Structure 1
Amino acid sequence: MKVFERILSVDKLFDVVFRLEQKYGKQSCFQHMAVLEGICIKTKKSEDLLWILESMEDLLIRGESNNKCFSSRTLKGGRTGGGTRGLLDEFLAKKSIFEYVLEESQKWGLKPAHANGIKKVMISHSEVRKRFEDGADLTWLGQLTEAERLIINMLKNVVFRSGHDSQLRNTLKGSTLPADILCHDPFKTMMETIHEEIEKVKAAEEKEANEDESDEDSSAQKNVIVHDLLPRMSLELDHEDEKAQQLMAFAKQAEEIVDQFVKLVVEQDSVQAMGQIMENCVSLTGAKRAIFVYDSKVAGEATAQCHIRRPQFRREHFQKICSSFVRGRGGPQPREGDLVIFFDGGRQLAPMVLSACVKITNAEDHGQHWEKKQRQEMIIHYCEQSIRARRCLVRGLIPTHEGIHIVTSGPVLVQDIPRKIFSGMSLSTAIGPVKILPFDEEQGFWLISKEEKDKIYGPAGRVLSGGALPDGPDRPDLGEDRIPVNYHVMPQAVFAELLHSFQASVMVNGTEIDGKGAEAAILAKKSYIGVTFTEYHAQQLRKLLVRFVWEQFKDQSSPLYNVEVQTLLKALGGNPNASTPLPLGSSGGSGNTVQPSASGRGKGGRGKGKGGGKAGSKAGGKAGGKAAGGKAAGKSKSKKRAAGEDDGSDGSKKQKTSEESSKKEEIMNKLKKLTQGGLIQDDDDDDDMADEAEE
């Protein structure tokens, strides 16, 4: 009767039992009535019973447990003699931790709207699976503060996953109260980190309120959407080494960071299809301020001499991407504070840009200009030396400036703050000097093969041009089958400056090409949407960004630096940042061979006659010269010996080494006689000896 009254008579509880019975049949854990009876005895509250049943269902669906794991004994636990608690205690402890963390965070200063948003989205295991499954849109997570992301990460790992179950079981031996559980590591460290981040958010909000009380509109923060930071770990991990598994977890984390902040969408043919994609980008619809970037230099590639020629401006292409951005913001025109930033490539395109900024609707106002449309012109100044280094000049003057057109629906609202990278303030109409990247992969330039480039651009990315110039320079030779993805890309610093100076919550790049804007957004922890030419382009770009994040884990100057990754890499294969060691026998370390002084000021004999002083001077000087030459020769010989070993020429190497050693010993003996204080009566003999030593 208890089972019927407390479980089977309640619709929500019955549905869970029925789903598992229907899915597993006779293999279901609920085939044994003792299991349901044990659950009923543990608690009478329907919400607790629902949490227990959904926890069991979640473990089965995710493949972390099977039906045999849920026996009456494992659920109740072996409490006699200080044994571990059962799964029922573990499930209920997770529920209490979930409620306690949200309650305690609000006491520290987390906004109730944020806490309620987290609780609403993570109200059940089924809701978590539905919203946080693999392949879900993760970019809206970038709209949250760092404190919110930390809370989500903790709840995901501790409550809705099994990553910390072993520590939780050990802690439950002493107490089941959440306050006591969270006083032990690793939970204590997590809570302290959350507390620190909440304090930072409070301090920043107080400072902003003091500067401008009119900006206290918190309505944009009420629509809080949360997401799982870490996708499900692969269950088919073959590595037995614990350190290798930890390193693989960090590699997975690099992918997750990219998915948190970056969403790559493929360009569509129609405005309608493109607009629907933007409407589904939650990070765009919920952002407080958004900026749309369109770089006409990389909006495709010219079909002829693309290394010196920029693609022709396509008004319809700009209008399609810009209109989809506006539609994603929820209206026929941009919201107040939104910016459309257009790079003209040094061409007079302002009239065409303004004519494309019109309403795209199904109503009578279709095609009409944005209300209160304004344009503000800026310039970007490039470093002349970096342009010369590319050696793609044709003739005439060096173009070091480019126009930036900012189009808004209303006045341009910019906060007066210092620039992040370049000199000056954010209200300045000039940015620079900007150093463009050389065509070098080691410095972050994306080089690919011609086949890959054709797949990246596709037919839509090729812009017809009027033919090749008669006296145009050749393309730079960058190696066999290596060409830039685009010759006119902007460096990461420009995108980082735009995000900072305009205080944007999300950046939409309508001409995504090499991921530099996405890199800047990841480092700034801002949301980013990039429009790619093809699906292949999006796939390759995501791989590139994951590698970028992984390198940031190893860079001590990066905000993403992770000392645990460095420690694991050293333990599994040496220091990744160490330079290539010198080959054995080369100069660079302390060897057993004593090298003569290389100063050219050798000690001559102390003879009283003229010949002694002269001979000493010559011998010492030539000995010094020999020493200096010997060092250089030592390096060269070491390289040759290393090459000889690779080729397998052991016999010739030994013979050559023996001859060199005997000759060197003979010369050193002669030099000793010259420098041991004896009188040298014949200067010519001294010269002959020294000349022989030089040879």
Structure 2
Amino acid sequence: MASRKRSPESAPASASKQAKLFQPVAVKFEPTELIHSVNLQRITAVTKARDEILQHPIFADMLSASPLKMEEGNHKAQRDNVSFSAKHATTTLSSSGKYDCSANLFWLKLTHLSQPGVPISERSINVIMETKFATPQTLLDQFVVRAPDQATGESIMRRFGALEFVSPPELVHALVLRIHERLGEADEDELQGWRKLCLCSTFIFETLGTAEEAYWRAVNLREMVVSDFESLARDVTQRVYELVGYRSLIKTTANRDLSNKELASAWKEHVIQTDSKFSDRVTENFVDTAMKVYHRLFTAAPESLDIIMEDCWPPCSAMGAVEDAKLHGKASPFNQLSSLEQITMKGKTAENMLWIMKSMVDYLHHMPDEFGPTNFTFRQLKGASGSVGYIQLFLTKKEVMEYFVTNVLCKFPRESFKDMVKLNLTNHNIFRSFCGSEGKEVDLSWQGEYTDAEILVVQFLKVAVFGKTPDPHFKTILKGGTNIEDVMLSQKVADLVSEILLKLEAEISPGKVKESVLAADDDEDPETKVSLESLVDSELLEDEENAKELQEHLRAVKEYAGRFITFRPFEQSVLKTQQLLEGTVLQKFPVRGKYWCVWYDTKTQGESSAQPHCRCPPYQKATFKKHVHAAFQARGETEITEETLVMCMDGFRSLEAQFSKDLVLPSGDVMMKSLNTFQVAYDEKALRTRKCLTRGMVSQVEGLHVYSKEGLALTDRERKTYVGSTHGSLIGPVVVSPFRGGFLVSKECKEKMLGENGKVLAGGPCQGQGSLPGDIEDMLPASFYSLPTAFYIEMIHSFELGGVYDSTCMDVNFALACLKSKVPYIGSCLSEYACEVLEAEVVRACWKEFLTPESELYDVNLHKLVDAQGTQGVKGAKGGKGKKGDRCDAQGPQGHTDSSGLRVGSCCSGLSAELLALEMLRVSFVSCVACEIDHKLLNLNHAMHGHCNVFSDCCTEEFLASPSCDLFVAGFPCQPFSKAGNNHGILDPRGHVIFWILRWLWLHKPLCFILENVGNFAQQHKETLDMIISILTVMNIYHVEWKVLENSAVGWLPQHRERIFICGVRKASLLRPFVWPGDVAMLPLRNYFKENIQHQEELGMDSLNNTEKNNVQKLAANVAKQGWILGHEEYVCDISGSVPHAMWGVSPCLTVTRAGSSGHWLSWLERKMTTREILSLQGTSLERVGDYWHHMSERQLRRAAGNAVPVPLLARVIKMVLIACGKVH
């Protein structure tokens, strides 16, 4: 008893008390510690190393081992250093605020980051490992440990294992990783040396009451050791994050926003100024530039931080570690703040900035003999006076690639080849893995399946985009400030392209090519030629005089249409489109009226490549910009004038923010403009002849966004077609015609009208995709989204238009409206052929208008002439094939939960319940990735589902490099978080899997994801849950929600099983609010069990062990006390544990252990569960598993079922996630 009364400072505690005293507290990870994948990887590595060190026999007691004095550790003491004493600590801290002592390194929270927002340099850690910790003979530095205000020795002891230090963490991480590295190779003497080194640490406890004090102390401690360890010097990127971290700290603690000047002053006041050639001095100008770089580069393009922190020049293999450490600070071309600023200024967009940086890394890695860090200084990146810098060169190469893909690659017939190029040969890293580089050979056998012309495409990209040979040529051309068309037309590039096209033409059947050309130019093409025979009955042409008069009228109709209507093909080059428009009446707009307009309808900016009849093409900002700039420049203008309107229809997608962002000057600068938004309301019944219900409704209101110079000044008058006045914001109701009532063309004609660029790439099927009505036979609407002529007449009237440039022309209705209103119209078409087809259709429609008495264009003489034989002699325009009086009723809604091609990935896959759930939902999918550590279960899973890629360990770089997907599902290991497990959380090595899953999400950013675990996770491991949610939130691209769901309430299965679901949907793809599935009625328990089964005795009373038999008797007695008989009621009893319990009408949770031992006891059947019944209680069946499981035992199959999430429950969650992101209806 005496030993128990001794205080810790006077004598060692007993073994039991000491174990309790030194037991580490649960480590809490701050979200900012894992703010980036670089830090996440480092912390995960250190945590894993620590855990494996503690499992080694020599280090097994490290958490409770007492520290050694310096002489005990065979280290020369620099001063008298005594072991930690709680009493002395209390006294000294209260009097001086500091206390130093000999301590145990493992008392620290080894994963702690004193400045969590600053990325850790892996290079620094590697240098320290190879120099300072080459052997265990080095004397450890002093570690400054934070002691809160009023801290006592006892309170410090309670934090052993989680003490937060403010010294540079690289020193601690390097030592832990070095010890871990030596575990498998070192002899016992060396490992004892490392143990002694850890037990001879020197801690200096300092009272740092506020977070700000701790922050400045961490900064200064680093500055003080830079002279000894130059690798610890902050590079530019880390310094930027240090400044951002302090500004964020002040905002959090003091709710104050620091200006750049105040931030610079605070730095100067608090930080020890040292002379280091490796760190830039922090001035006000430095802070100004740092903040610009942080917001424009690091925030806009987070991947840029990965590129910088790789910091792999010069390569470690090229020189010794010491020399490498000396070069670390200034060696990186990204370690110049001015260079980073130049990248942001010239790159402008995240895509361009990342391309520049990846191009620099590509040159350094793959052309090391010719390019080093000194080739990418600020001066060379920017370009000296009169010269072209590397930034402009790299951006030009990107434009060359994009232009080539858009204008040359599209000519190749094989879709598989074009997809391969776009997927694999437009990214630096993937291109090198496919095609290699100088000095790096790769397997090129994959090229064997491609033709000579296709191989030339690969060679073009290798030379012109990813090679250095054309660089001088490009720089010479760019000196003149020319655009991408001029670069492509330059002799060297043009020769390469010509060679490709000649080879391609030779490979295509010459006869087929000539036939296509002839078809396009054939004067007899009925789609482009208008003859009298196509307009009137042949009887009217038998009379020669009649025929001459009709021919004269046809000429007059063509002339009249030509006075107002012009069609021009759209060119991808702004310059060429501008030149085509310069010879038109556009320069004289507005001819009549107050305004002229650029009309841009996102519904007709081409046609979606998937389900075009029910899906609008994706918005194309580049096309929008080109049309606006070409139209303005053709008039000699660069921006909106007082008589200009830019009118944009958003296709029910609320794109006003995107329009406003993209409506810029040709230089990219902001264009002065004012926005007015109108709502176009559609008639529901008419709209439903084209559209199906979406989420049970049909969208009837579309946005019309009108941009003017200083706001609209419309005359207040009644609308011409619809109710209301011109000062109202609502226009409608607009009655659209059914498809069969519009302008129909043949499928061949439609393909030629769309041209090379008319098909806009879209993903899988949309909701409620429906189908085209059968009565249009083999014809297709020229536009699936045509609006009635009456609507366009209203636009001309309400907005007082005196000229229209229709930049998204796919039919003739707007042209007819202008014709009737006598307003000039220019329509930009997708191809030259489309211009010819629409010109012909305008003539046909105009002819019909001349014959219609109610029309503004009615010609009584023409009507008399054709009416001589009766109106039966008149042929109408091509549109409207139905009989007179036909009416197309709206089709009923065709709801779909079909998401054909949904790419699915999973981790900790088990039986892949997510795929079983998708089968239940009848959603078409492709399983891209599956990962399962149990090899037998992985084989079963793969046999059941046939995954494209399988992995056996998610904690590997190979898994991180797996393909991306649309839906990612991960049920990370539950044992560390379960009541039935050890409940150690992330202190359990299996708990580390969540870090790898988060890292996968960070790298791949799927459309949506679902993470799931036991319900206990939310109650017992709230800090870990908060950490996960914070990391997902910091990514800033997902809408994230979590909830604990009870299976019997939400998943209808009669099994009590709580699971937590963490769901995320990309904000940009969130089409409707995410809603958790509600409660449903639970199915009866008896539905899942049969009364008579084969071999029932194998599961009956005789099969039970003594504990289970006793537990059945205990439960029978408890139920009898309540007036019931156990064997007569539907009780499901958990009898395998030390404390039995029973549930009526529902099964207790089927854990892995319980399912493996044949589940629970069924009181009314007096037996345990069969494998079939266990699977059914999880929502699947033995038939679905099939015969694939026979290579594993039946017990292993039951355990796999017990480890799964109930399929119907998961299906309901998946359905709500997919509804939110628009993948199912």
TM-score w.r.t. length of structure 2 = 0.26
Q: Please identify the structure whose Cα radius of gyration is greater.
A: 2
